[in-house]
Amino acid sequence: MGFDRRAFIQLITGGTVGILFTPVVWKLLDDVSIWTQNWPWIPTLKYGEKTDRPTVSKICNSGCAVNVRTVAGKAFGTEGNPENPLSRGGICPMCSNGVQLMRSPNRIKTPMVKGADGSHKAVSWDEAMDALTGKLQAAGSSVGFISGDLTGTANEVYSAFVKGAGSDDFFKLPGSNQAASRAWNGLMGGNGQIGYDLPNADLALLVGADAFESWGPTVWNQKAFSDARPMGEKPSCKYVFAGPSQQNTASVCDEWIPLAPEGEAAFMLGVAHSLLQTGMTADASDFNAFKTMVMKDFNPSKVEAAIKVPAASMASAAKQLRAASRPVVIPSGNSVAAHAAAFALNMLLGNLNRKGGMTTVAEFPLVVEGAMTPAETYEKDVVSWFAKGANPDVLITADCNPVYSLPVEVKAGFMVAIATEMNETAAAADLILPAAHPYERFDDLQTPYGVSSAVYTASVPVTDPAFDSMAPADIVLKLADAAGSGLGVESFSEVLMAKAEMIGAEWDDYFGVPSFETEAVAEQNGPSLAARTLAKAAAPVRGTGAVALAPYTMLTVGTDRQATTPNAPCVVSRNQIIGDTMVVMMNSATARKIGVGEGSKVKMAGGTGSAEALVHIYEGVLPGVVAAPFGFGHTVGDEFSKGKGDNVYKILTVTSEAATGASVWNGSTVNVTKL
């Protein structure tokens, strides 16, 4: 039988009719469309009992008192702790992403040692601790320690351990905390930790202090600000911001005095000049020397010539401070001189330990034998230590990222990183030890710098550890034990319980110490106005570059210790980053002068490095200044931070402040070239 034309037509027609009636084709088409559109995985939600458990979250520098929300025993969210005075229900954008960070794929899951080829390989805890103990024994007293914790009792454990090894080299990261301590407890001979009674002030002069976004206890500050501005009613406090650019804090302040970072101390002494002229005095032994010095060197026209702030602005600030009944001046940055000038100004205003003024908060007593006091630790300047060529045999870093954030090279014979997440320091370290996340460990938070009364919060682990990690303080206790310089305690939880008992706070096994507050004030023994030092240290020193650099910190972008958190990049605007390139801001006059415009790609060279950025024209920046965000430019980390923008810490110009010797970079400048 042949295959003729008729058979062919019959086959085609029959086939077509058959296909039309069979469901197989349509079913297949349907399946293809479903399966290509299907989710590759289905997210499942956990259901069960929901609880709120109080804990401390030390992801931001100041630390937040938070409630971790759990469902069926698993943490899923973080909220402020309404019962705690530091939070009163508020939380910073960094800590509100705490649970997501805890589950980040960037977490360090196991101890690791660096091999000969430079890559890290996993080892057991025992092997890691044995290796480190051996290194420590060989190092003797050549041991350094950098702690990223500014508020914890863990620092007592660390410093006692370092002391036990016969070394003094225990450091905290530089910042306003350090400058304040060096100015008050060092230069001026005061006692206690400085706080600013923002909740009761009626005029706050914030000198460079971005108090509502990154400086000091931001949430506590913001709560005070919120109370002082009842909606629709008369505000009870006026805020004046003196700084180089209008960032978040300046946006809500009543007045902005444009001021370059290096001019802060001179500006405040210029204000002091006006106050002294009206006959104001301070109860200090060197008041006369201070007055003579200010009257001679800091008359407003002289200061105007040096820092380009109109004399009238200083006179107006002085007038407002005088007229206010509870004024307070808040400094910032690394300059010890600026802090001393602010404290002198506060003393001149007579607000020391007065309602709404500058307070000297009594520090909680030390509980670990042989530990350094906070003031002692702040006297140690990690930047100048490395700048002078320090190269300890063993350097331990805990909860910090000095390789990324210090504007000097970090050198050590054997570097140990105790960290929760992979970062530049861990990548450079010879040994990496996985630290427990704040929600997985015992920890505490003693009065963050800036808070006006003594507040203690301690926490217990609120969720199961995600990985085989250990609290940094427990690691150090074990090391001390192995080294034979045991600190007399088994675990960090014991230390915290002892601390709670010592200060009279009640310890609860389920809640720790959710909140404990005292009004204890440190007694003063005739603090001085640091007249002699200020005479030499307050003059502004600017680098030689074409444009001054005004770096700023936003918690959504990152800090010196913590890169941006998983949900934060959506929050970061196009004024900070576009694509993978950082954005810097300058006003139109500056841009014209250096020949750039909106969107120009530029290279900024300063210090020992350079950074690439796109220009955004923003009129809220002082002429001759470029405002750049800290926190970008990570070379190690998760996909949200790695390769995003450039690292502004590496283009800072570090100098030693005259008379105080502090490492400062407030006079940093950069040369900007168009690419």
Task: Looking at residues 613 to 642 of the shown chain, list those that interact with another protein (rule: CB under 8 A).
Answer: 618-623, 638-640
Please, which of residues 67-96 interact with another protein by CB under 8 A?
A: 71, 74-80, 89-93, 96
Counting beta carbons within 10 angstroms of the beta carbon of residue 279, is it exposed (0 to 12), middle (13 to 18) or buried (19 or more)?
A: exposed
Q: How many CB atoms lie within 10 A of CB 499?
A: 23
Q: Which stretch binds another protein (CB under 8 A): 101-109, 177-185, 419-427, 468-476?
A: 101-109
Please, which of residues 571-610 interact with another protein by CB under 8 A?
A: 571-575, 577-580, 587-589
Q: Which is nearer to another protein, 36 or 278 (CB)?
A: 36
Binds another protein (CB under 8 A): choice among 346, 425, 565, 647: 565
CB 576 within 8 A of CB 557: yes
Q: Residue 197 Cβ, how far from another protein at the closest point, in Å? A: 18
Q: Residue 150 Cβ, how far from another protein at the closest point, in Å? A: 19
Q: Which stretch binds another protein (CB under 8 A): 189-197, 247-255, 259-267, 652-660?
A: 247-255
Token pair in block for residue 313 = 């602005």
Q: Which is nearer to another protein, 114 or 238 (CB)?
A: 238
Number of residues located near another protein, criterion CB under 8 A: 84
- SS3 of residue 431 by DSSP: strand
Q: What is the 3-state secondary structure (H, E, C) of 222-287?
A: HHHHHHHCCCCCCCCCEEEEEECECCHHHHHCCEEEECCHHHHHHHHHHHHHHHHHCCCCCCCCCH
Q: At what angle do helices 311-323 and 300-307 cross, to 10 degrees?
A: 120
Binds another protein (CB under 8 A): choice among 51, 100, 191, 453: 100
CA dist 339 and 334 (Å) reads 8
Q: Residue 659 Cβ, how far from another protein at the closest point, in Å? A: 32
Strand locations in 435-475 (E): 443-446, 454-459
First to last CA, the chain: 80
What is the pattern of x (binds another protein, CB under 8 A) and - over residues 206-245? ------xx----xx--xx-xxx-x-xx-------------
Tell me if 27 contacts another protein by CB under 8 A.
no
Q: Which stretch binds another protein (CB under 8 A): 35-43, 318-326, 407-415, 524-532?
A: 35-43
Q: Residue 25 Cβ, how far from another protein at the closest point, in Å? A: 25
CA dist 103 and 89 (Å) reads 24
Please, which of residues 448-467 interact with another protein by CB under 8 A?
A: 466
Please, which of residues 325-384 interact with another protein by CB under 8 A?
A: none
Binds another protein (CB under 8 A): choice among 97, 177, 647, 663: 97
Q: Which stretch binds another protein (CB under 8 A): 317-325, 566-574, 595-603, 655-663?
A: 566-574
Tell me if 315 contacts another protein by CB under 8 A.
no
- SS3 of residue 63 by DSSP: coil
Q: Which is nearer to another protein, 20 or 570 (CB)?
A: 570
CA dist 335 and 346 (Å) reads 17
Tell me if 556 contacts another protein by CB under 8 A.
yes
Strand locations in 470-532 (E): 513-518
Q: How many CB atoms lie within 10 A of CB 325?
A: 11
